[in-house]
Structure 1
Amino acid sequence: MRYFVHIGYNGLHYGGWQKQPGVANVQGVLEKFLSQALKTPIAINGCGRTDAHVHASQFFFHMDVEQEWDFDLLFRLNKLLPHNIAVFDIIPVEAQRHARFDAVKRSYDYFLHTYKNPFLHGLSSYYLLPDLNFTEMKRAVDLLPKYKDYRCFCTSPDKYEHTICNVMSADLFTDQRGEKLRFQISSNRFLSKMIRIIMGQLLKVGKGQLSVDGFEHYLISRETPALITPAHPQGLYLSKVTYPYLNLPPREEFSAFQQNQSADIWVPI
């Protein structure tokens, strides 16, 4: 029987989702405790691969279990798992459903703050940049859905068959004091470090180091910037994964300090 498992995790102390030897990773932790709870080796397939220190307020993986359990697996897993990984739902699905290949849209949020705040440490990226030009950054963000080839904003474009991404939406928000920034982007797929590279370029626009025309030039020409400066990873969240047959709202309380404030503090630019 195949199951989709809906989880969230704080990735600050992990080297990413993917299992790899000698590096703390989310997949390995989950497989360890699933195998322990079900008393049989369990392999899982995730909906994507988040980088080191990147969070997920919504993430799905699928697993195949031959014999159904007769106890509260959700409760037991959350007792076993470390505090930075939470299981929200375990959903039976048809055998051919695939957590990665069936996803039709993935949405990310990137949070940053421009003043030193110990309570945001690890949840948002700190940049001491109090005079960012949000208007110019917003102009650059508005260009993103107009282009399909994101070769210019990828660390290793040649490893992909193609670098086409269907960016469905992109937006920028600030808090009422102008001290926090939230970048949102949704696409059918993302390339290696694509969002952090885009955010790094947007910061250059905000600092006046790169014009909006210069930002667009990369998208038009598909030329990689001479100096790639990805934004810090700890501000990035995989926040929504959508399937044709499954569209669950995020359990935003997992990253409540950031996301549940959206109705009150985030103002579109």
Structure 2
Amino acid sequence: MRYFVHIGYNGLKYNGWQKQPGVMNVQGVLEQALTQVLKTPIFINGCGRTDARVHASQFFFHMDVEQPWDFDLIFRMNKVLPANIAIFDIIPMEGMQHARFDAVQRSYDYFIHTYKNPFLNGLSSFYLLDKLDFDKMKQAAAILPNYKDYRAFCTSPDKYEHTLCYVKSASLSVDENGDHLRFQISSNRFLSKMIRIIMGQLLKIGKGVLSVEEFESYLINNKTPELITPAHPEGLYLSKVTYPYLNLPPRQQFSSILQIQADLSWQRL
């Protein structure tokens, strides 16, 4: 039988989601734990691939298990797994739904703080900046849903069959003191390092070294910037994955220091 598993993880100590030899990865840790607990080899398919040191406050994978278990699998897995990975729900599926290919929308949050804060270390990206032009950054973010081809904002576009991404929304928020930023973007798919590249460009706009017109010209002409400077990975969260048949709210407690503050005290630009 096929199961969808709803999880969250702090990716700071991992070299991304995807299983690969010789490095710590989230997929490998989960497969090892499931194989140990269920006492049979388990292989899983994730809803996407996060980069090294990137987090997921909502993530799904599917697994096929022939024999049902007669114990609390969520409880036992959360005891076996390290503290930086949590299982929230295990959902039996009627057919052979696919965690990656069936997802119709993915949403990401990117958090920045502009002063040194040891309590946000690893949860938000630290940039020692002041007097950012939030209005110009807002203008650039608002442009994104108008374009479909994101070849310009990808580290290796030629590895894809196509570089079309249907961005549904993109916005910036800032807290009342102006020293915490939150970038939110939703699309059917994302390319390699696409969000971090966009965030890096938005920061350049905020600092006045890149104009909104130059930013848009990359999208118009499918031209990659001469210097690609992806933003730090630590502030990026895969925060929502939506399926036609499954739309669970994220467990916001996973990044509550940031998200609850954002929900209560931040102003959308």
Task: Normalising by structure 2, report the TM-score.
Answer: 0.99
1:49 counterpart residue number: 49
* RMSD across aligned positions (CA): 0.5
Counterparts of residues 1-269 of structure 1 (less than 5 Å)? 1-269=1-269
Instruction: Give the Cα separation in 2 of the matches to 1:200 and 1:19.
Output: 27
Measured against aligned partners, the alpha-carbon deviations of 1:30-65 in whole angstroms (never above 9, x if no partner) come to 000000000000000000000000000000000000
Structure 1 counterpart of 2:129, one-letter code: L
Preserved CA contact (<8 Å) 1:45 1:99: yes
Give 1:151 shift.
Answer: 0.3
Instruction: Give the Cα separation in 2 of the matches to 1:38 and 1:216.
Output: 51
Instruction: Give the Cα separation in 1 of the matches to 2:265 and 2:116.
Output: 18
Instruction: Give the Cα separation in 2 of the matches to 1:66 and 1:130.
Output: 56
Measured against aligned partners, the alpha-carbon deviations of 1:17-39 in whole angstroms (never above 9, x if no partner) come to 00000110000000000000000
Structure 1 counterpart of 2:67, one-letter code: Q
Instruction: Give the Cα separation in 2 of the matches to 1:20 and 1:266.
Output: 39
Structure 2 counterpart of 1:63, one-letter code: M
Instruction: Give the Cα separation in 1 of the matches to 2:260 and 2:47.
Output: 24
**Structure 1 residues 230-239 or 258-267, which shifts more?**
258-267
Measured against aligned partners, the alpha-carbon deviations of 1:128-174 in whole angstroms (never above 9, x if no partner) come to 01111111000000000000000000000000010000000000000
Instruction: Give the Cα separation in 1 of the matches to 2:125 and 2:254.
Output: 18
Give the SS at the match of 2:79.
helix
Give the SS at the match of 1:186.
strand
Give the SS at the match of 1:99.
coil
Instruction: Give the Cα separation in 1 of the matches to 2:76 and 2:265.
Output: 36
Give 1:263 shift.
Answer: 2.2
Give 1:260 shift.
Answer: 1.9
Give the SS at the match of 1:165.
coil
Where structure 1 has 5 or more consecutive residues not aligned to the other structure, the ranges are: none
Give 1:94 shift.
Answer: 2.3
Give the SS at the match of 1:217.
helix
Give the SS at the match of 2:11.
coil
Give the SS at the match of 1:148.
coil
Instruction: Give the Cα separation in 2 of the matches to 1:94 and 1:187.
Output: 26
Preserved CA contact (<8 Å) 1:45 1:63: yes
Instruction: Give the Cα separation in 1 of the matches to 2:76 and 2:199.
Output: 39
Instruction: Give the Cα separation in 1 of the matches to 2:66 and 2:152.
Output: 45
Structure 2 counterpart of 1:236, one-letter code: L
Give 1:264 shift.
Answer: 1.4
Instruction: Give the Cα separation in 2 of the matches to 1:117 and 1:195.
Output: 23
Give the SS at the match of 2:158.
helix
Give 1:14 shift.
Answer: 0.2
Structure 1 counterpart of 2:242, one-letter code: T
Preserved CA contact (<8 Å) 1:115 1:130: no
Give the SS at the match of 1:88.
strand
Preserved CA contact (<8 Å) 2:11 2:84: yes
Instruction: Give the Cα separation in 1 of the matches to 2:237 and 2:157.
Output: 22
Preserved CA contact (<8 Å) 1:2 1:65: yes
- Percent identity over paired residues: 75
Preserved CA contact (<8 Å) 1:137 1:206: yes
Where structure 2 has 5 or more consecutive residues not aligned to the other structure, the ranges are: none
Give the SS at the match of 1:168.
strand
Instruction: Give the Cα separation in 2 of the matches to 1:263 and 1:143.
Output: 24
